[in-house]
Amino acid sequence: MRNLLLIVLVILAASAKSQSSIRFCASVNADGGCMLQNNKFFSSPDSLLQKVSLLASNVNGFNTDSLHFVMNSIDKNGQEKFYSRLDQSVQSDWIYVWQSVYFNSPGRYSVRVFNRQDVLQAIGTFELFLP
């Protein structure tokens, strides 16, 4: 009986995580629409910073009061190094939230979204290029 309960809990936790996603956008409109979604961004030759909008969504709502966006740079060997963290207050029934972040150097980045209990909600990677 305990094994069955454990299996059910694991399945529920996995399905809750799989309903969350993160997308990378040039911008996000007021209705949560991702403009120019991509995993590759090219910075402007006349700018030192590149804005990327991080759009997290969950079709059933986030069921928490805060989310944490943790960004890491990824080196050539695949090792991750902390870049930044942003905390976002949310309502439990919100189905999307976004943060606009300015990155100052080219490279690969990973973004993880955690809830208040530090449970991973979504993960994604994108790349930033100089022209």
Q: 86-121, pLDDT tens digit by residue?
A: 999 999 889 999 999 998 888 999 999 999 999 999
Q: What is the pLDDT of residue 73?
A: 96
**Residue 80 pLDDT more than 80?**
yes
Q: What is the pLDDT of residue 46?
A: 72
Contacts of residue 9, defined as CB under 8 A and 6 or more positions apart, other chains included, come to none
| Domain ranges (residues) in the chain | 2-129
- Reduced to 3 states (helix: H, G, I; strand: E, B; else coil), residue 129 is strand
Q: What is the pLDDT of residue 83?
A: 95
Q: How many CA atoms lie within 13 A of 24 on its CB side?
A: 23
Amino acid found at 48:
L
Q: pLDDT digits over 22-57, tens only? A: 999 998 998 888 999 889 998 777 777 788 999 999
Q: What is the pLDDT of residue 15?
A: 46
Q: What is the pTM (predicted TM-score) of this model?
A: 0.79
State the architecture of 2-129 in CATH terms.
Sandwich (2.60)
